[in-house]
Structure 1
């Protein structure tokens, strides 16, 4: 579990590609202070396991599922990375509940200055993700815990407003329209939506008199 508060920006040192899998070498400092083999570190919001490390860097495996559903596959050596260690029990909880399980990738469609802030407009590559993006709710972009400013389902975008500190201390300072971001929607909304879907399906089954051939067909089992 993570909080979405970035501890430092690391740098992608090396990439060893093996089909739709790879080993990433990451240069870092703060997140290595108490690192151990098997520890979890969020890299651009993706929960990854440390498989080796030394005083200045660590390595993580990226499996095909992660390769396909995040922006890690598009990164090249030298790219800046948001890094956060897994939350310690009893630690200060300053962001929101973040799993490091990315729901998908979004594309920046706008970057606009507004007084001391910068407003980013994000278009999820999968429009269905907007179902779980709630105005004034929480969303994670490349591992950063942020508050949703607005949503526009007609245009398929949502916006977040970035304060100077966040812009300065994260990879968002390097992001511009056309660039991609990993998106993790708020865990509470996803679970509520899932449970309500099961409830509605169960109610439908009861109305039709139980588990019938038509129920199985309507729900994709036949």
Structure 2
């Protein structure tokens, strides 16, 4: 499994989309993410892990499977679309964001965008079943960008984008109603599964759970 950090290295441009049967071939203009790249390497495109099947000095090609198109917003994109790009993490790299796998959990829809002094506040609607993995002040990847959840609601969350994040990613292009790729925090998924297994297959509300020393020892936290 390849890993990313959610720190966008550059904004690429979707140059061409070639449809062959049930798959798409994306040709993407880029430069920085092509440094030291080789065929078979992974690049996150709007937060989706894609495999490089061909490249030259200023672009690369990647094939999208039907499941990728179904689970992400990539199938809706047209030539000229701006794309957040990030190379897969190498052992020597600085982990500036959080652990991102490039496996999208679902699609979020922009509900509102407003400027607040030197920041941009964006509320994103999601399916309620995704909120089980989220916590306020926790991490989330939106179109491949590592962000912190400012406020969490029953079917949406609020993020605050600094001017730097706004300007250096394709989030500055989004508008109300747009779809965004959402990947919840990997740690949250594991914690949820551990708790669910501990309390049985019935649904539970984690914040009503008593977590004591015995629970932590039994589940390997200490």
Same fold (TM over 0.5): yes
1:24-43 to 2 correspondences below 5 Å:
24-43=26-45
State the 1:51 CA deviation: 0.4
SS of alignment partner, residue 130 of structure 1: helix
State the 1:16 CA deviation: 1.2
In the alignment, which of 37, 43, 46 is matched to residue 44 of structure 1? Answer: 46
1:139-158 to 2 correspondences below 5 Å:
139-153=140-154, 156-158=155-157
2: CA distance, partners of 1:3 / 1:39: 16
2: CA distance, partners of 1:31 / 1:94: 16
1:51 and 1:59 in contact (8 A); partners too: yes
In the alignment of these two chains, the number of paired residues is 200
2: CA distance, partners of 1:66 / 1:136: 29
1:169 corresponding residue in structure 2? 168
2: CA distance, partners of 1:28 / 1:37: 15
1:219 corresponding residue in structure 2? none
State the 1:19 CA deviation: 4.4
State the 1:18 CA deviation: 3.1
2: CA distance, partners of 1:187 / 1:98: 7
1:108 and 1:121 in contact (8 A); partners too: yes
Call closer, same or farther: CA 1:202–1:65 in 2, change over 3 Å: closer
2:195 corresponding residue in structure 1? 196
2:177 corresponding residue in structure 1? 178
State the 1:113 CA deviation: 0.6
1:20 and 1:67 in contact (8 A); partners too: no
TM-score, normalised by the number of residues in structure 2:
0.87
Rg larger for:
1
Call closer, same or farther: CA 1:202–1:149 in 2, change over 3 Å: closer
2: CA distance, partners of 1:184 / 1:129: 9
2: CA distance, partners of 1:69 / 1:202: 25
TM-score, normalised by the number of residues in structure 1:
0.87
1:41-190 to 2 correspondences below 5 Å:
41-124=43-126, 126-153=127-154, 156-190=155-189
2: CA distance, partners of 1:17 / 1:104: 23
2: CA distance, partners of 1:194 / 1:142: 25
CA RMSD of aligned residues (A): 1.3
SS of alignment partner, residue 192 of structure 1: helix
State the 1:100 CA deviation: 0.6
Structure 1: stretches of 5+ with no match in the other structure: 204-222
State the 1:201 CA deviation: 2.7
Structure 2: stretches of 5+ with no match in the other structure: 203-222
1:41 and 1:49 in contact (8 A); partners too: yes
